[in-house]
Amino acid sequence: MYVHSIPGGWISHPFWRKSFKIESLEDLQTLRDCPVDEVTIDTAKGRDIAPDHLEEDPEDAHEEHEHDPTAVVALASHTADTAVAVRKPVQRTESVVERERAARIISSSKSTVLNMFSEARMGKAVDVKDAAELVTEITSSVSRNADALISLARLKTTDDYTYMHSVAVCAMMISLANQLGMTQEQTKQAGMAGLLHDVGKMAVPLDILNKPAKLTEEEFASIRSHTVQGHSILQQIEGIGEVPLDVSLHHHEKIDGSGYPFNLKSDGISIMAKMGAVCDVYDAITSNRPYKAGWDPARSIRHMASSAGHFDPVTMQAFVKAIGIYPTGSCVILQSGRLGVVVDQRPDQLLTPRVKVFYSTTSRMPLKSDIVDLAHGSDKIVAYADPAKWGIRSLPSIDLL
């Protein structure tokens, strides 16, 4: 069999790769002795599974394999028998439930990312074992409900921007990879690339990194060097993989050739680096920074969509589908004249999210906050709204309660 992926972090098994062909009985026994319950195999690359081992109807299972040649194999420690089931998509979890899980993941991620970046700042070799575990947790959360963790990761302060930006880009890279139909292994590599894409900023002096005023030419050159610096840092990590190396070096390239560090044009930029460019910029411009306040998601999407020559159009379109036409946190005006903030989306109903209404543009008075499900009512979104136009300085929380 060809092992497509092994769940868990890199420390949960003795193999240096997660994808490989079982060539010997020794490898098979080593795999069975690992502290993992199941692996995913690729039946297109290995000898296919005999129909009588399939839990579902053989004909149905064969049709599934034609579209997705992976199957989950439960490992039996003391027998050669294996139980096989075709991998099914994870059922979407309600946002209010997943946000609780996502909040715990974000909380625990701080020490992981800070420790990793501190090692880089001190010139030490970065240990990414914990990072791999974190990517696995984020991948699971995004698969249950992508909107939950991404919307929470956007709510960062200027003090925790460095580590939260990495977590947010990681989550968005995973969500975008899912939208583009990438394999599980590609998706995890995309997540790792997102988590590590800015590690090179640890080689930039803090007074330049956090400077609230306009940068000098020399300071801007120092900031721009973080792509090459990050690539150099990651090269020291054994088995890091090509995707994190590629994204760290090329996530500031633009398809018209005006990016850096190599002025690559569209054909010379990988899909992963194009994804990194979109996710990095979106989180940067929606976040509060020492030198500017973050834009709301809707304004950010409009700005990015109109930035001709910067982003790959196909990747940008997939990104909009991944985060929603009205991203969580967007301020919108309804046909009824009420202002609301988007608090929840459904992937199959992008035009009718759930909205927390809080202000009447007719009476110009605040309203008691109320959740309106636009999928089950007559009201609808007319346009994005600028809260400042109505004298609103801060939007209500995106909690559904």
pLDDT digits (tens, 9 = 90+) for 208-234: 988 888 899 999 999 999 999 999 999
Which among 63, 86, 109 is the end of a domain? Answer: 86
CATH of the domain at 208: 1.10.3210.10
Extract the tokens encoding 152: 């929470």
Share of the chain above pLDDT 70, in %: 85
Same domain, 29 and 120: no
Same domain, 62 and 8: yes
pLDDT at 200: 96
Q: For the segment 60-73, what is each residue's pLDDT rounded down to a tens digit?
A: 333 333 334 555 55
Same domain, 268 and 131: yes
Estimate the share of the chain in helix, then strand, then coil, as percent rounded to the nearest 5.
45, 15, 40
What single-letter amino acid sits at 267? Answer: D
Q: Is 338 helix (H, G, I), strand (E, B) or coil?
A: strand
Same domain, 74 and 122: no
Same domain, 347 and 382: yes
pLDDT at 11: 45
Same domain, 151 and 183: yes
Same domain, 352 and 233: no
Q: Domain containing 363: what range?
A: 331-390
Same domain, 263 and 353: no
397 assigned to some structural domain: no
399 assigned to some structural domain: no
* Exposure letters 172-201 (e unless 16+ CB within 10 A, then b): bbbbbbbbbebbbbbbbbbbbbbbbbbbbb
Q: For the segment 27-83, what is each residue's pLDDT rounded down to a tens digit?
A: 787 777 776 777 888 877 776 554 333 333 333 333 333 334 555 555 543 333 333
Cβ within 8 Å of residue 181, ≥6 positions away: none
Same domain, 279 and 155: yes
398 assigned to some structural domain: no
- Report how many domains make up the chain: 3
CA 50 to chain centroid, in Å, comes to 36
Same domain, 135 and 260: yes
Q: What is the DSSP string of 158-218?
A: STTHHHHHHHHHHHHHHHHHHHTT--HHHHHHHHHHHHHTTGGGGGS-HHHHT--SPPPHH
Q: Is 391 helix (H, G, I), strand (E, B) or coil?
A: coil
Over residues 125-151, mean pLDDT: 91
Question: What confidence tier does 157 reach under pLDDT thresholds 50, 70, 90?
Answer: confident
Extract the tokens encoding 251: 């996530």
Same domain, 338 and 269: no
